[in-house]
Amino acid sequence: MNFDWHVITNNLPFILQSLKISLQITVTAIIFGIIWGTILAVMRLSSVKAVRWIAKAYVNTFRSIPLVMVLLWFYLLVPQLLKTLFDLPSSTDIRLISAMVAFALFEAAYYSEIMRAGIQSISKGQLSAALALGMTRMQGLRLVVIPQAFRIMAPLLLTQGIVLFQDTTLVYVLNLADFFYQSVEIIGNNNGVYNEMILFAAVVYFVICFAASSLVNYVKNRMA
C-alpha cells in the first residue's frame, strides 16, 4: 500500500464536516440521553407500580434490540411521524434528525441503568434527612440525591459517552455521511483508496477514544 496523503488533504473540508456530524449526534444523544435516562431511573424507583412498569418496559425493550434495527426503524418507518411531532420544516435533513432521536432514545435506556445504580448507592438517610428538612420526595431526589448520584456516576456516564461516539458509526445504514461513511464509502471509494481509508478511520477513532478515556481515568483518579 502506498498511500497518497493528498486524498486526505484535498478532501479535508468534507472530512471535517463529517466529523462535525458524528460529534453533533454524540453530543445531542449524550445530553438528551442523560436527561431522559435520569427521568426513567427516577420512574423506576417510583412508588406507583404502573410508572415503574412503564419505565422498566421501555428500558428492557431498547436494551433487547440491536442499534442497527433501531436506526432503521427510525429512518424507514417513523420519519413522517417525527416531522409532525417536531413540526420540522421540510428542508431539515431527516436522516440526521432520525439518527439523533434514535440515539437519544436508545442511549437513554443505558444511561437510566447507570443512573439507577447511582441513585441506589446513595444512603437512604440522605433522602430521610431531606424529608425531615421539609422537602417533598421530588425535591429531595432532585436537590439532594440526583446531584450526588451524578457525581458518583460521572466516570461511567462519560465512558458510556465514548461508547456512544463509537456507535455513531452505525449511521452507515442510513447513508448518512458521518466521519466513517464519508472517509470510507465516499472518499475512499471515489479515489480507489478504500482499504487505506478504513485504516485511516480506525486510527482517528483510536486516537480520539484513547485520549477521551485517558481523560476520564484522570478525572476519576482525581475525584477518588
Partner 1 sequence: MHIQWNWGIFFEQAPFGDTTYLGWLWLGFQMTVLLSICAGIIAFVVGSFFGILRTLPNRFLARLGAGYVQLFRNIPLIIHLFIWIYVVPDLVPESMRDWLFSLDPSIFIFMMSTIGLGLFTGARVCEQVRTAIQSLPSGQKNAGTALGFTLRQTYLYILLPNAYRRVLPPLTSEALNMFKNSAVASTVGLVELSKQANQLLDHAGAAYESFIAVTIGYVIINIVVMKGMHYIEKVTRLPGALGGK
Partner 2 sequence: MKQLKTKYLNKNLAKLALLLSALGMMSSTVAAAELTGTLAKIKQDGVIVVGHRESSIPFSYYDNQQNVVGYSQDYANLIVDAVKKELNLPNLKVKYLPVTSQNRIPLLQNGTYDFECGSTTNNAARQNQVDFSDTIFIVGTRFLVKNSSGIKDIDDLKGKNVVVTAGTTSEVRLNQINDEKNLGIRIITPKDHGDAFRTLESGRASAFLMDDALLAGERSRARNSDQWVIVGTPLSYEAYGCMLRKDDAQFKTLVDNTIVQAQTSGAAETSFNRWFKQPIPPRGLNMNFDMSSEMKALFAAPNDKALD
93 grid coordinates? 435533513
16 grid coordinates? 471535517
Candidates 93-101, 116-124, 131-139, 150-158: pick the segment binding partner 2 (CB under 8 A).
93-101
21 binds, options partner 1, partner 2, none, Cβ within 5 to 8 A by partner type? none
Rounded-to-5 percentages of helix, strand, coil across the chain: 85, 0, 15
Q: How far apart are the first and last CA of the chain?
A: 47
Q: Indicate which single residue of 53, 66, 85, 143 sits in contact with partner 1 (rule: CB under 8 A).
A: 66
198 touches partner 2 (CB under 8 A): no
Amino acid at 61: T
142 grid coordinates? 432532585
Q: Indicate which single residue of 77, 85, 143, 223 sits in contact with partner 1 (rule: CB under 8 A).
A: 77
89 touches partner 2 (CB under 8 A): yes
Q: What is the DSSP string of 15-56?
A: HHHHHHHHHHHHHHHHHHHHHHHHHHHHHHT-SSHHHHHHHH
| Interaction site with partner 2 (CB under 8 A) | 14, 75-77, 79-80, 89-91, 93-95, 175, 185-186, 189-192, 194
| Interaction site with partner 1 (CB under 8 A) | 1, 61, 63-69, 72-73, 76-77, 81, 166-167, 169-170, 172-173, 180, 184, 194-195, 198-199, 201-202, 205-206, 209-210, 213
